[in-house]
Amino acid sequence: MTARAAQALRTGLRRFTTWIGVASLVLWAASVAAQDITVTPSSIPTPALGVPYSVTFVGSDGVAPYQFLVSAGLLPAGLSLSGTGDLTGTPTSSAPYSFTITVSDALGRELDLLGAGTVTGALTITPPPVLVANTAYSGQIQVTGGTGPYTFTVNSGPLPPGMTLGPNGLLSGTPTTPGLYVLVIQVTDANGLSSTITLNLQVMALSTGIPVNDPWMLVLAALGLGWLGRRQIRQQQGRGR
């Protein structure tokens, strides 16, 4: 093979390799462009007033890096969005909101996430009344804030013996032992908003006599005994006449 022919062969191989590379790149770009990028989570959880909020959005099915920005509307007061997809902060106002987060990959493809709703108040509960030992009780623990229905879970602490707390917040049973019972429960609403709340349950003994530690009851008891004593004396005097 002459030098000229060898040079021509090498040139042809380089051109063929370059063409293969360009064709592969074009085919790869076309296949990537045919896909839709996705983001996890695909929806924006509802924030709660005064509760620290943190959601990290992660892009996929595209070409990194991904960029995140608020392209329309306003975030709830107290929240901010980083360019890498971290939506964090603590809401400072319970108010309606509407905004759009636009996600883009390295090829310029975009996906919009829509956020709309109202910042909810933090979940709080109304504790049940004082329970009485050996007296049946059944009542629903009332929740304010968030969106019902609610789910209840006991994280720690004992219930009064004889009592149960259902997953729907129904406290029922017959308490058998007086005392103060401190529970830590987790309440979760229909949108996934969750609060950990300390619940104090007081069980009182059923009183059958005069509480001797009450000064007013002691005074009344003394007056009653005095009246009975004077009456008995008058009756004896009447018999002696």
Q: How far, in Å, CA of 165 to CA of 64, rounded? A: 48
Domains detected in the chain: 38-118 (2.60.40.10), 124-204 (2.60.40.10)
pLDDT at 191 over 80: no
Determine the pLDDT at residue 14. Answer: 67
28 pLDDT higher than 70 = no
pLDDT tens-digit series, residues 96-146: 999 999 999 999 999 999 999 988 877 889 989 999 999 999 999 999 887
Calpha distance 52→196 (Å, rounded): 13
Count of other CB atoms within 10 angstroms of residue 103? 22
**Among 157, 161, 139, 170, CA closest to 197:** 157
Average pLDDT, stretch 78-82? 97
Do 74 and 97 meet the contact criterion of CB atoms below 8 Å apart? yes
Q: How far apart are CA 201 and CA 133, in angstroms?
A: 12
At 35, which amino acid appears?
A: Q
Asked if residue 65 has a cis previous peptide bond (ω within 30° of 0), the answer is yes
Question: What integer pLDDT is reported at residue 120 of this predicted model?
Answer: 80
Angle at 211 between CA 206 and CA 214, to 5 degrees: 135
